[in-house]
Chain A
Amino acid sequence: MNPSITRWIKPLLPAVLVLILGWLVRLRPAAAEADLMQRRVENQGDIRSREDAVRLAEAQLDAVRVQAKEKSAAAGATRLEFSTNAAARDLSDLCRGHRISLNSAAVDKAAQLPPSLKAAASAVSGTGQIWRVELTGAYPDLQAMLGGLSKTGPLIIPLSLSMTAAEDGTSPPQWSLLLWL
Chain B
Amino acid sequence: MKAAGKTIVVLTRDRVAWFSPGAGPGAEQARAPGSSDADAVRLLLGPVRDPGQVTILSDTVFTQRIPLSRAQSAGLSQEELGRALAFEAEPFSGIPAGETALGFVADGPEAYRVAAMPATVRAELHAAVRAAGGRLAGISSATDAPRHGGLAEWLAGVASSAETRPHISPPARESSPVRYQSVALGGIAAALVILAGLNFWQTTRLRRFEQENEAHATLTNRLTQLNRQREALNLEIAALDQDTVRRGEIQARRGAAGSLLGALAARCGENVLVQKMEAQSPSEILVSGIALEAGEVDNLSIALTGDLAAAGWSARAATKTGLRQTAGGGPWAFSILLSHRELLQAAPAARRGEVLE
Contacts and interface: CB of A to CB of B under 8 A. Distances in A.
A64 B230 contact: yes
Contacts of B256: 158
Interface string B171-208: 01001000011011001101110110011001101100
Interface string A1-45: 011100110111111101100110011001101100110110010
B47 interface: no
B346 A50 contact: no
A80 interface: yes
Given A117-B249, A161-B277, A30 B203 contact: yes
A111 B347 CA distance: 18
Chain A contact residues (Cβ within 8 angstroms of B): what range?
A: 35 or more
Contact of B261 (A74, A110, A121, A143): A143
A140 B265 CA distance: 8
Contacts of A139: 261, 265
A75 interface: yes
B351 to A, nearest CB: 9
A82 B346 CA distance: 23
B219 A112 contact: no
A27 B180 contact: no
Interface of A is mostly: helix
B257 A146 contact: yes
Contacts of B183: 8, 11-12
B305 to A, nearest CB: 18
Contacts of B215: 47
B246 A113 contact: no
B147 to A, nearest CB: 40
A72 B243 CA distance: 10
A80 B248 CA distance: 10
Nearest to A110: B357
B212 A143 contact: no
B343 A114 contact: yes
A112 B354 CA distance: 8
Contacts of B265: 139-140, 143
Interface string B97-132: 000000000000000000000000000000000000
A78 B275 CA distance: 39
Contacts of A110: 356-357
Interface in B22-46: none
A99 interface: no
B282 A159 contact: yes
Interface of B is mostly: helix
A44 B223 CA distance: 14
Nearest to A36: B209
A71 B285 contact: no
Interface string B47-90: 00000000000000000000000000000010100000000000
A14 B187 contact: yes
Contacts of B219: 47, 50-51, 53-54
B188 A15 contact: yes
B258 interface: yes
Given A75-B243, A124-B247, A114 B355 contact: yes
Contacts of B202: 27, 30-31, 34
A142 interface: yes
Contacts of A120: 246-247, 249-250
Given A34-B205, A50-B219, A80-B250, A15 B285 contact: no
A176 interface: yes
Contacts of A85: none
Nearest to A159: B282
A115 B345 contact: yes
Given A44-B216, A160-B281, A71 B253 contact: no
A160 B282 contact: yes
Contact of B236 (A15, A37, A68): A68
Contacts of A19: 191, 194-195
Given A67-B237, A149-B258, 12 more contacts: A33-B206, A41-B216, A47-B215, A53-B223, A68-B233, A71-B241, A111-B282, A112-B354, A114-B340, A116-B342, A119-B246, A143-B261
Interface of B: 77, 79, 172, 175, 180-181, 183-184, 187-188, 190-192, 194-195, 198-199, 202-203, 205-206, 209-210, 212-213, 215-216, 219-220, 222-223, 226-227, 229-230, 233-234, 236-237, 240-244, 246-247, 249-251, 253-258, 260-262, 265, 274-279, 281-285, 340, 342-343, 345-347, 350, 354-357
9 contacts: A2-B77, A22-B195, A34-B205, A37-B213, A38-B205, A112-B357, A123-B246, A156-B254, A159-B282
